[in-house]
Structure formats: structure tokens, C-alpha cells
Amino acid sequence: MGKLFGTDGVRGVANVYPMTAEVALALGRGAAHVFRNKVGRHRIVIGKDTRLSGYLIENAIAAGICSMGVDVILVGPMPTPGIAFLTASMRADAGVVISASHNPYQDNGIKLFSRNGFKLPDEVEDRIEQLVFSQELDATRPTASEIGKAFRMEDARGRYIEFLKRLFPQDISLDGMKIVLDCANGAAYRVAPTVLEELGAELIVVGDKPDGENINHECGSLHPELAGRLVREAGADLGISLDGDADRAVFVDEHGSHVGGDNIMCLLAKRMISEGRLKHNTLVATVMSNMGLDIALASCGGKVVRSKVGDRYVVEEMISGGYNLGGEQSGHMIFLDHATTGDGILSALQVLATLRREGKTLSELARGMEPFPQTLVNVRVGSRMPIDEVPGLTPLIRDCEQALAGRGRVLVRFSGTEALARVMIEGEDEARIADMAQRIADHLARELA
């Protein structure tokens, strides 16, 4: 049947394998079995974004969980990091998020969190997958009072809002700050405006009227140009665009210009270094982050450690190295002192607090990092093998790296979600690196067609 879990849970077109009610029910049964590892009654928290198909998946996975004698706590539309927070706060056995993040509304997905609010390691996902495809649980059928119950949690949103507000410094407010907020018609359409307004911001809100089909449609993190236009029209201080499940945020400055995720991580890391709060003076980024980030942080005594692409791999690297700040170019940022996963609203609060502390605009702070030119070429492939086993590829990469002479990088990897190989090259000469990337892409296309 193929592997269910990708780099961020199970994902696909809703009501088409693997995102069917049947698979969701089996996943619920498998997850409930795996997480029943303590004495007493068991509970799993379920939240979702605003997709129409959320009703279908929610009911199916809840039925699977209840069929294993585990109770379900339904919270309705809630950002992914909100579910991680509630799972740990309520000491539940696990958390489930039904969302396809930034994908269009016809897609959906299922992400799982452990009882401490972290995404699952590969070996736990593999065990759940094994249970889905086997008959191991067929004989496990609680009856009578042992069947699980489902409860709806009415104050979930309020708990998460108060948690976020407590993380904003008590000695400052957002009074006098005008902010454009794009909620992507997604899971944060109520939470995010409430948090920022109660901290004093004047808001211009868009993407806060979900109808089940308009999530991420020409709005949100994939379309920061909407926030940029509104910032210019309103003379706002900045714009914040969330994605469908609000685990990441994308920013535009006071001119309406997009500020890259690397620049945001850089300004946050620099502020934390200056305050002595960045553990080991180290930021964890992925292999896709720009080399300019390394140079900018080195100038103030910091450094960058890189992980595989995917926010859960960033978190794993942070935990193993004892670091407290990490993120991705895409807008995922993890503040391990406060949260266990990427949180777009928390990221926005950290950026806003930094602007207040520094007394500068976002464009001024973003200039603290000068990115190297970067080119990315995607190659559709018909087969996969370890990158270093592709005939003729290793010497070709080596030649390009030698030509860059330490002032650039070459990265070739396979996509975790599509039949693509990705070629990324950084360097000081844009035309030169584009030519290198195309040569490598052409070679991959020939060898892996």
C-alpha cells in the first residue's frame, strides 16, 4: 500500500487514499494502541483547521480512537501549535492535528504529537503504520463501558490565547503599532487577532472568514503580496501572514516588501545573543538556509548548525545539542524555551517584541543579513537512489564546489513529499551558479529518468 507518513504526517487529497475515512479510522486505532502506556483512563486531543473535509477525517479518527477504549477531546479549529500545547498542558496521551498546512482546501492531512507536545520520531510513526496495515489489532475490541468517550472542550481557544499572551514581555505593549494580519482563512482566524488586539495592536485583518473552501486561497503565507499591498495602503508598521494551520509566519516590512525567513531568524538570534539568551550562541537552521546567515551571525559571535529539511528535524537537532532557537526559510520557527513545535503567532510576538526593544523598523533590522544569491532547480525523477550513488554526480558536484572556492554551497537532495530532486546552489555570481545548477539538474534528469 505504500508508506503513509511523509516528512510531516500523512497528507493527500481528502477522501482519496491515503486521506480516506477508512485509513483515518485505522490510524486512530493504531495511535490509541501505541499511546496507551500508562495506568488509568487515556485521552487524545483532536484539533483541525477549517477545511470542509475536516468533519469527515475528525469523525473517523475519533471513532478509531474510541474503539480502542481511549477517550477523545475535540477542540475544533485550532492552530497546530495550540494542539501541541493543549496535549502537554492537559497531560493527554497524544494529540492529533487534522490539517494540510499551506495546501489547497481539497487536500488534508493528519499529524500526531506525543504527550509532551513533540512530533513523533520515525520509529513511532513506523509502528503505527505497521498496525494500520496488519491485522494485529483486530482482536482488540473493548466493549460496554470500556469503549472510549468523546468530549468537546469549550475553553481550548481561551487557554491557548492566555498562554501566548504570557509569553510577551510584561514591560512592553503593542500600543500605537498598526499591523496587517492575514490568517489564511485557517485555524488561527480567531486566536491570532485576539492575541494581538489584547496586547494593544491596531489590526487590519484579512483571511478571517473561512468557509471550508477558501483556506490558503490567494492569501496567507504563500501570498505575502496581499499583506504587502495592505501595508502600503494603510501605512502599517508591518504585515504578518500565517499559513493554514498557523505553525509558521511570513513577514512583510513597513514598505510592503517580503522579509525572508533567514533574515527573520537572524534578527531574532542577534537580539538573543545580545541579551545572553541564545544557548551556545547557536541557531539551528536547515540545509536550505542561506550562507549569508552564517556570515551575519559570525559577525556577532554566533554560529549556525544545520539539520535536514523539516521542522521536526530542526527540533531533534535542537534537543540533541541543547539549543533553544531554530527554524526554516519557510517561516517555521521554534522557541524551545516556550514551545515544542513551530508556532506562527509566537514567532510574530517574538519579532514584535524585538522591534519594540530595538526601536527600529523591520526593514532596518532585516538589513543585518545580506543573503548570497541562491538558485533552486527542481528535477522530476522516475527513480531514486542515494545521492552519492548516482553515476557521475559526485565528481560534478565536487567540481562546482571547487569553483565556488568556499564562497558558496551546493546541495542536492530528494523531496520528502514529491517525485523531485532539488538542486540548490549559492554563490556570489548569480549567472554562474544558475549555470552550475542547470548542469547538475540535466545530469540528474538523464540518470534518473
Q: Which of the following is catalytic: 53, 67, 99, 101?
A: 101
- Judged on CB neighbours under 10 Å (0-12, 13-18, 19+), 329 is buried
Q: Give how far the C-alpha of residue 236 lies from the chain's centroid of Cα atoms, to the nearest Å.
A: 26
Choose among 181, 216, 184: nearest CA to 195: 181
Choose among 29, 6, 5: nearest CA to 131: 29
Is residue 53 annotated as a catalytic residue, yes or no? no
Cα of first residue to Cα of last residue in the chain, in angstroms, is 23
Going by C-beta distance under 8 Å and a sequence separation of 6 or more, which residues neighbour residue 371?
Answer: 260, 262, 263, 290, 292, 293
Under DSSP, the state recorded for 149 is -
Using alpha carbons only, how large is the chain's radius of gyration in Å? 22
Q: Are 444 and 421 in contact, with CB atoms under 8 Å apart?
A: yes
Rounded to the nearest 10 degrees, how much is the dihedral formed by the CA atoms of 271, 275, 279, 280? 90
Task: Return d(Cα 262, Cα 421) in angstroms, integer.
Answer: 23
Task: Return d(Cα 300, Cα 298) in angstroms, integer.
Answer: 5
Task: Return d(Cα 176, Cα 360) in angstroms, integer.
Answer: 14
What cell numbers appear for 265 in the block? 531568524
Q: Give how far the C-alpha of residue 305 lies from the chain's centroid of Cα atoms, to the nearest Å.
A: 18
Q: Are 377 and 438 in contact, with CB atoms under 8 Å apart?
A: yes
Q: Are 223 and 232 in contact, with CB atoms under 8 Å apart?
A: no
CA distances 267 to 25, 239, 298, 364, Å, are: 44, 16, 13, 10
What cell numbers appear for 199 in the block? 496586547
Choose among 44, 29, 21, 146: nearest CA to 95: 44
Task: Return d(Cα 142, Cα 443) in angstroms, integer.
Answer: 56
Give the residue numbers marked as catalytic: 101
